[in-house]
């Protein structure tokens, strides 16, 4: 009995190699959207049946290029938007009230979430994981806190930690 559903060869295969377009990231082979050369048997028996890759036809290559261009445009737009946010935040000075002892030591500490909450309340959409603290703030005073909004967009914000009006 002969199986006719299995392809005899992989398009683009020449002398022991086949070009495939990766659909998923594959360790030691490449990232999604890469066109890689592999052994025809590896493509035919593993990559293609498991949906990890597709045949690198000209049409598929064009579709990947269009998709990459769209992703670049989206990323560029996102970076512009984050840069505007970073500029606005860098001009802002946040004030956090905290209970403190007479020698300016806080009873608790100011964490990244506290800074994020104050910035959000002021209309700056900063998440706690974007706040870069070397450690918790444990004393009253003025601090320059780094913010990392994106690999390419970083800024700083002044944070004043002042004693709360209600006292200790």
pLDDT number for residue 60 = 86
pLDDT number for residue 145 = 94
Can you give the pTM of this predicted structure? 0.65
Task: Establish if 1 belongs to a structural domain.
Answer: no
- pLDDT tens, 154-168? 999 999 999 987 644
pLDDT number for residue 63 = 87
| CATH value at residue 24 | 3.40.5.10
Q: Give CA–CA dist 134/113, Å, rounded.
A: 14
Domain that holds residue 52: 18-56
Task: Establish if 62 belongs to a structural domain.
Answer: no
Q: What is the CA 94 to chain-centroid distance, rounded?
A: 26
Task: Establish if 146 belongs to a structural domain.
Answer: yes
pLDDT number for residue 10 = 56
Residues of the chain with pLDDT under 70: 1-15, 166-168
Contact (CB, 8 A) for 129 and 146: no
pLDDT number for residue 131 = 94
Contact (CB, 8 A) for 159 and 142: yes
Task: Establish if 47 belongs to a structural domain.
Answer: yes
User: What is the residue whose two structure tokens read 């505007």?
Assistant: 84
The domain tally of the chain equals: 2
Task: Establish if 94 belongs to a structural domain.
Answer: yes
Contact (CB, 8 A) for 120 and 136: no
pLDDT number for residue 111 = 93
Sort strands 153-163 and 93-98 into parallel, antiparallel or unpaired: parallel
Clarify whether residues 34 and 102 are in a common domain: no
């Amino acid at each position: 009995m002969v199986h006719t559903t299995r392809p005899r060869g992989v398009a683009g295969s020449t002398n022991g190699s086949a070009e495939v377009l990766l659909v998923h990231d594959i360790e030691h082979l490449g990232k999604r959207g890469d066109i890689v050369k592999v052994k025809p048997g590896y493509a035919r028996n593993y990559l293609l049946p498991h949906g990890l890759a597709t045949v690198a036809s000209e049409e598929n290559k064009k579709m990947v290029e269009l998709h990459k261009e769209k992703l670049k445009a989206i990323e560029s737009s996102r970076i512009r938007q984050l840069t505007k946010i970073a500029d606005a935040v860098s001009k802002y000075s946040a004030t956090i009230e905290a209970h403190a002892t007479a020698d300016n030591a806080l009873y608790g500490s100011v964490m990244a979430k506290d800074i994020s909450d104050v910035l959000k309340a002021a209309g700056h959409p900063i998440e706690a994981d974007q706040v870069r603290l070397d450690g918790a703030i444990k004393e009253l005073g003025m601090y320059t806190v780094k913010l990392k909004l994106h690999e390419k967009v970083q800024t700083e914000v002044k944070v004043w930690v002042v004693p709360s009006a209600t006292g200790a």
